[in-house]
Structure 1
């Protein structure tokens, strides 16, 4: 009999890839969305191969414990991806970002444990690792590195604060209860979009192609293909030896490296020139995600990540080249 698993935040860019790969592997999937009547959340999931017989959609609210219990009931595993993702200014960051991220993580872990779920694989972020300006400049950043909350509070960086506090709350719950939890810390995720909406990481790439000079100093550490991030979650569930935090990037790079590669691959676009070293104190590394590599992970190279992402933006109508035709 196929295993039943739950994916929270299933309609997002990574969540959609995770649902697809799980269905491909024969799992029965409980997928959570915010609004069952919104086709932008549901239609692309229902269209996946295997969805008719092995996909069930649930409406879930991270702050509603009953809605969480309903989704995880009967599941062998839970993949917790749902989290507010807001990088810009918000009116009430504590209420809009931090509270649902932190309380939501604990609520999901609690419901999963009470339901007898074997293991929860939760999506954290490199934003729980950076910014970390006090990390030794001669050491490559790894899973031992944590985001500097004081620095983030001074600069009003609420997304890293939320992801850091949510992950720490998850580890505290796991420590107190002995529950089996594994965390994935992805970098900037890019690739072919399955949902019909543009997400924040693909919007960053779109900005690069249109000449944006922002360097995302406090948010960038490298990238990973959507499919790879999804596969990292599956490996973390299926491989019993998986544990702790797991950095998920094809390499540790500076944002300047990323922009330079986009310009090289797509010279026809108005890609702005930015400094090569955009992340002071960040040492580059080609094998930074050793824990996942040891689990069998094979990362998509940067050239393929960018190409897949740009071609997706083009095919979905988010990107085009203005051509001047002489009269």
Structure 2
């Protein structure tokens, strides 16, 4: 089960105006504009339409219609909101979830707000286990504006608070501490770290140079690690999830040799950084094996190219 918080999207009229680059408020759409909108939304590739044998034609037709109010939906009988009126949501942002294998049969999205107490009650109702992977980012004006610092601190404080809560309530808790995540990206809109990797592959160094020596892990390994420690009866405590630790210059040397068509920088300016490695023997003791750095970036670059982020390289 997964949950997602919905945000207010653009109105339909604003979306169409941005898509075709025209003022649609003062004059009607042309037939060509309507067809362009259909193509953009990939209606002809819709799996649900195909399942029912519905074909999308470019031939336009006029029909009489009326707008009906949104229907009420029935949620879990034992949830706080047994019935609710659907709110507007950013469905484009969730599209990649419904494209996952088995999503139509096994995926359920439940609206929730991360910082609202009790918001996830319906999402976890009846579950044997919960995988919690989101962390609120905090900040204090005047200390630092670096989002990486606040993100790391929020992770640390969230885990500390969770362990304290588990101790007080007797909750069975295991935490997985992943390294810098590399691999394919499901959504078209890249995450903060994925954008940094894309910049590196395009020859930009400004955002990535601050990482220095970094531990890396394939995104698939993180998912498999969560499953392994959940299913393993003897699993307990904290698990470091990392495949390899590399200095920036070692990383770009590997990337430049493996992907000569990409403008990867030759080297980074050297900063004084502590030399460290990570002990992942606890996870290895469960029989876990990691993918290597080459496979991480092979999958990452293939995904970026497929999504059009590296079209010119």
TM-score, normalising length from structure 1?
Answer: 0.63
Confirm or deny: 8 A CA contact 1:31 1:58 kept in the other structure. Answer: yes
Aligned residue in 1 for 2:171: 179
1:196 to partner: Cα distance: 2.1
Q: Could you say if the C-alpha distance between residues 34 and 243 of structure 1 is closer, same or farther in structure 2, counting changes exceeding 3 Å?
A: farther
Partners of 1:64 and 1:75 lie apart in 2 by: 20
- The CA deviation string for residues 20-70 of structure 1, in whole angstroms up to 9 with x for no partner, is xxxxxxxxx243343472223322222223222221111111122232111
Aligned residue in 2 for 1:115: none
SS state at 2:312 partner: coil
1:295 to partner: Cα distance: 1.8
Answering whether residue 113 of structure 2 is matched by residue 64 of structure 1, we say no
Larger radius of gyration: 2
Task: Give the count of matched residue pairs.
Answer: 229
Aligned residue in 2 for 1:290: 281
Confirm or deny: 8 A CA contact 2:182 2:216 kept in the other structure. Answer: yes
1:71-86 equivalent positions in 2, closer than 5 A:
71-84=123-136
Q: Could you say if the C-alpha distance between residues 216 and 294 of structure 1 is closer, same or farther in structure 2, counting changes exceeding 3 Å?
A: farther
Aligned residue in 1 for 2:231: 238
Aligned residue in 1 for 2:3: 31
Partners of 1:154 and 1:227 lie apart in 2 by: 28
SS state at 1:203 partner: helix
1:209 to partner: Cα distance: 1.3
What is the root-mean-square deviation in Å for CA atoms of aligned residues? 2.7
Q: Could you say if the C-alpha distance between residues 260 and 42 of structure 1 is closer, same or farther in structure 2, counting changes exceeding 3 Å?
A: same
SS state at 2:261 partner: coil
Confirm or deny: 8 A CA contact 1:255 1:278 kept in the other structure. Answer: no
Aligned residue in 2 for 1:168: 160
Which runs of 5 or more residues in structure 1 are unaligned?
1-28, 85-96, 100-150, 323-327
1:199 to partner: Cα distance: 1.3
Aligned residue in 2 for 1:268: 261
- The CA deviation string for residues 85-114 of structure 1, in whole angstroms up to 9 with x for no partner, is xxxxxxxxxxxx228xxxxxxxxxxxxxxx
Partners of 1:188 and 1:302 lie apart in 2 by: 11
Aligned residue in 2 for 1:320: 311
Q: Could you say if the C-alpha distance between residues 276 and 251 of structure 1 is closer, same or farther in structure 2, counting changes exceeding 3 Å?
A: farther
Which runs of 5 or more residues in structure 2 are unaligned?
8-87
